[in-house]
Amino acid sequence: MARKAASSVNGPPSPPAHGESKPVTVPDFMAAKARGVRLTMLTAYDCGMARLLDAAGVDALLVGDSLGMVVQGFEHCLSVTLDEVIYHTKMVVRGASRSLVVADMPFMSYQVSPQQALTSAGRLIKEGGAHAVKLEGGERSAAAVAAICQADIPVMGHVGLTPQSIRRLGGFRVQRHEEQVIHDAVAIEQAGAFAIVVECVPTALAEKVTKAVKVPTIGIGAGAGCDGQILVIHDMLGLSDLHPRFVKQYADLGKAMMDAVRSYCREVKDGSFPGPEHGFH
């Protein structure tokens, strides 16, 4: 999907009450921190949801490897493939006219070598249409980040809890190693990342990370001290069975959907749907 003319580097443009605004670019995203503008980010996995989130004014949409859990029904994200992320990214890009679309680099699509990382990132941009990519890891991923950035592909980093490391971590656990988390964030920034997701670390540590780097930090389970926030859309809309402590549920669409479907089933069975007004004459 072609992007419209670049917007000014004064932070993400605000969505107007009616119609489209200029698209959020990587320079916009980076400039927001200096201006004190907080960034909004949500996951999206298909065109319809992307269109709604884009129209609502979300600054960035992440095609996360979390799709392994909330879309595919697995207990973790390790089975998600690069082709699957490309497939979902294509749909999200078609639904987004303003939001910056970031595609996750799934497990084993960048860990082998910087060259593999560059090839995978290139596919997400060229085939998927993503505007940027995201990968996990701090210092250990710095060479991969640098290689991708040198090809003019924007990279968002990810430190703290890295879900692709759950086998080593023993599960989804809060990361409290202050020196390591800060060191990882600085290493990723120096490698060229334009923003960094900070996941599941104590609030005070997230604030220190945010002060230690010049690029925006996007928190999830990291308190209010980051430059922006991200949530999994299924969690915040009540469409998931998972209830992480750090999630605020803004709506219970799961219950609303169940009620609607039950009403449909009841009316079909008792013959009240379809009515005369639903037919053709």
Residue ranges of domains in the chain, CATH in brackets: 26-250 (3.20.20.60), 253-281 (no CATH)
Residue 20 pLDDT = 52
Reply yes or no on whether 139 is catalytic.
no
Which residue in 199, 207, 267, 277 is the catalytic one? 199
pLDDT of residue 268: 98
pLDDT at 1 (0 to 100): 41
Question: What is the per-residue pLDDT for 10?
Answer: 67
pLDDT at 157: 98
CA pair distance 254, 256, nearest whole angstrom:
5
**Among candidate residues 133, 126, 129, 87, the one with its CA nearest the CA of residue 110:** 133
Mean pLDDT per 10-residue interval, the chain, length 281 residues: 45 60 95 97 98 98 97 95 98 98 98 98 98 97 98 98 90 87 98 98 97 98 97 96 87 97 98 95 86
Give the chain as a 3 state SS string: CCCCCCCCCCCCCCCCCCCCCCCCCHHHHHHHHHHCCCEEEEECCCHHHHHHHHHHCCCEEEECCCHHHHCCCCCCCCCCCHHHHHHHHHHHHHHCCCCEEEEECCCCCCCCCHHHHHHHHHHHHHCCCCCEEECCECHHHHHHHHHHHHCCCCEEEEEECCHHHHHHHCCCCCCCCHHHHHHHHHHHHHHCCCEEEEECCCHHHHHHHHHHCCCCEEEECCCCCCCEEEECHHHHCCCCCCCCCCCCCCCCHHHHHHHHHHHHHHHHHHCCCCCHHHCCC
Residue 5: per-residue pLDDT? 40
